[in-house]
Amino acid sequence: MPEETLQWWHPLPREGPVDRLEALVDAARGRRVVHVGFVDELMAAKQAGGVWLHERLAGVATSLVGLDLDEAGVEAARAQGYEAHAVDAQSAEAVRALHLPRADVVIAGELIEHLDAPGPFLRAMHELADELVLTTPNAYRVANFLVPLSGREAVHPHHTSWHSPQTLRRLLAMADWEPERIAYYHTPVKRRGQPLANGVRRALRAVNSLLPYWGDGMIVWARNAGHVGS
């Protein structure tokens, strides 16, 4: 592509910050849902606190199927009565082999930043539904600029990437998804035994309310662009 045709400057979304869990629950309400990457390393603790996303989705969806690569987590969910399947969601062939009925929406919360093949994953999701809602940490969150002053970085050990609104738009477009809406989300303020950290989070929350593009993460609502899976 000739350099003169490249567009380097992209508008940032202004919506938010929203509550991530509530936004995803709203996306599932009264609908047939496939929840990809539903197993959580803190699943037991989140269930005890009533904040496990999969459980919250089950309370509002008309049907719910969980997909995850973690076989032990899938078996644990099945033991609790959930429909769940162990599968590599980066493989359209493996997803197709499940022979699942098409859903209204795929929800993938905090998943894409863990993948080594996000493009194939996004293309595989066309096998499941024509609507996709995903969340991921924001490359421009305030902490990403402040924490390096300590000589360290704060990042989950299993993450493979950071995303901005434009990198998400580009990835989705390459996989035939059309982003309809992008908003920023915030993380909970209160964490037990962390008064200083909670104070910092409250301060950052105030900043995010004025400058949402420094929010903790992003939530994207996308639809099939009409080229595949229709």
Q: Is the pLDDT of residue 4 over 90?
A: no
- Summarised one tens digit per residue, pLDDT across range 139-159 is 999 889 888 999 999 899 999
DSSP string, 142-190: THHHHGGGGT-----TT----B-HHHHHHHHHHTTEEEEEEEEEE--S-
Residues linked to residue 83 through DSSP beta bridges, in sequence order: 65
Instruction: Give residue 198's pLDDT.
Output: 65
Instruction: Give residue 186's pLDDT.
Output: 84
Bond prior to 118 in cis (omega within 30° of 0)? no
- Assign 47 a pLDDT band (cuts: 50, 70, 90): confident
Helices (H), the chain: 20-28, 43-49, 53-58, 71-79, 92-96, 118-124, 143-146, 165-174, 195-210
CA atoms within 13 A on the CB side of 195: 0
Q: Per-residue pLDDT averaged across 116-124, rounded?
A: 97
What percent of the chain clears pLDDT 70, i.e. is strictly above it? 88
Among 86, 173, 85, 169, residue whose Cα is nearest residue 123:
173
Q: Is the pLDDT of residue 5 over 80?
A: no
Instruction: Give residue 48's pLDDT.
Output: 72
Top-confidence residue, 230 or 32: 32
- Assign 43 a pLDDT band (cuts: 50, 70, 90): confident
Q: Does the predicted model carry a pTM greater than 0.85? A: yes
Instruction: Give residue 192's pLDDT.
Output: 54
Mean pLDDT in the chain? 90
- Summarised one tens digit per residue, pLDDT across range 196-212 is 666 666 776 666 677 78
Instruction: Give residue 79's pLDDT.
Output: 96
- Summarised one tens digit per residue, pLDDT across range 82-94 is 999 999 999 999 9
Residues linked to residue 86 through DSSP beta bridges, in sequence order: 68
Q: Per-residue pLDDT averaged across 185-192, rounded?
A: 67
**CA dist 96 → 91, 101, 120 (Å):** 9, 10, 13
Q: Which domains does the chain have, with CATH numbers?
A: 12-224 (3.40.50.150)
Instruction: Give residue 230's pLDDT.
Output: 45
| Alpha-carbon span 11 to 215, nearest angstrom | 15
Q: Per-residue pLDDT averaged across 3-15, rounded?
A: 84
